[in-house]
Structure 1
Amino acid sequence: MYLEHVNLVVRDIPRALSFYQAAFPDWYVRGSGEGEWFGKPRKWLHFGNEHQYIALSDHGEGSNRALNGHQVGFAHFAYVVNNLAALISRLKEVGFEIAKPGVATLHRDNVYFVDPDGFEVEFVVYYSDVASQRNHYD
């Protein structure tokens, strides 16, 4: 089993895509189209690879939940990357700064960014293939 996609409702697809294209330079637009969601027109786009993707729909209104609050909702989602420093550099080049540093350990390092629509995305790199080291909870 694996997670195939995350579906995000955003306000502006090109703006959201600028973040995800910098984060995942090897991904591509798999498909796009237009439709209606409960009476409201929307555009949609799938950005990813053959195995996984992020679905973006542009019919979003209002603001995302406060990330420092206690509201029910999406807290964050995370991706494992091979080179965290390169990812940070690419995101900074297109105007995104680290929202929260992670907690570096001997076997893992991570950071959090917030995309243009307020979704928090964690990026993590592992320096070990040993599960007990990667998943250490001290």
Structure 2
Amino acid sequence: MYLEHVNLVVSDIPKVLVFYQAAFPHWKVRTEGSGHWNGKPRNWIHFGDDYYYIAFSDHGEGENRDLEGYQVGLAHFAYVTNNIEATIDRLKSAGFEIYKDGAEEPYRKNVYFLDPAGYEVEFVEYLSDLPEQRNLTS
């Protein structure tokens, strides 16, 4: 079993696509459409590769949860990269700054960015193939 996709509600799909296209240059818009969600019109896209994607719908209102607060909701999600420096460079070149540095760990590097919709996205590069080292936390 594996996670195929997440569905994120945003207010501006083109704006968030800039972030995710920089993070995942090999991904593309797989499919898109429009319709209604509980009576409200919305546009949607599936952005990813042949196996994994992020679904975006543009019927969001208001602000995302306060990431420094204690509200119930999504805290962050993470993607594994083989080259965290290249990922950081692409995101910075697209105009996005690091939101916060990751913990210093001997077997992985990680960093957090905020996408334009206010979702915190972690990128992780593992420096070991051994699960007991990869999963070690200080």
Matched with 1:78 is 78
How does the TM-score come out when normalised to structure 2?
Answer: 0.98
Matched with 2:126 is 126
Q: CA deviation at 1:106?
A: 2.0
Q: Distance in 1 between matches of 2:94 and 2:74?
A: 25
Which segments of structure 1 move beyond 4 Å, counting only runs of 4 or more? none
Q: CA deviation at 1:104?
A: 2.7
- C-alpha offsets along residues 10-53 of structure 1, whole Å, 9 cap, x if unaligned? 01100010000000001111000000001111000000011110
Q: Distance in 2 between matches of 1:104 and 1:35?
A: 45
Calculate percent identity across the aligned residue pairs. 64
Q: Is the aligned partner of 1:51 residue 2:38?
A: no
Letter in 2 for 1:39: G
Q: Distance in 2 between matches of 1:66 and 1:95?
A: 22
Matched with 2:13 is 13
Q: Which runs of 5+ in 2 are unaligned?
A: none
Deviates more, 1:102-111 or 1:70-79: 102-111
Q: Distance in 1 between matches of 2:68 and 2:106?
A: 28
Q: Distance in 1 between matches of 2:126 and 2:83?
A: 9
Letter in 2 for 1:77: F
How does the TM-score come out when normalised to structure 1?
Answer: 0.98
Q: How does 1:41-120 map to 2 (within 5 A)?
A: 41-120=41-120
Q: Which runs of 5+ in 1 are unaligned?
A: none
Q: Distance in 1 between matches of 2:104 and 2:10?
A: 31
Q: Distance in 2 between matches of 1:81 and 1:5?
A: 17
Q: How does 1:28-39 map to 2 (within 5 A)?
A: 28-39=28-39
RMSD, aligned CA: 0.6
Q: Distance in 2 between matches of 1:82 and 1:35?
A: 37
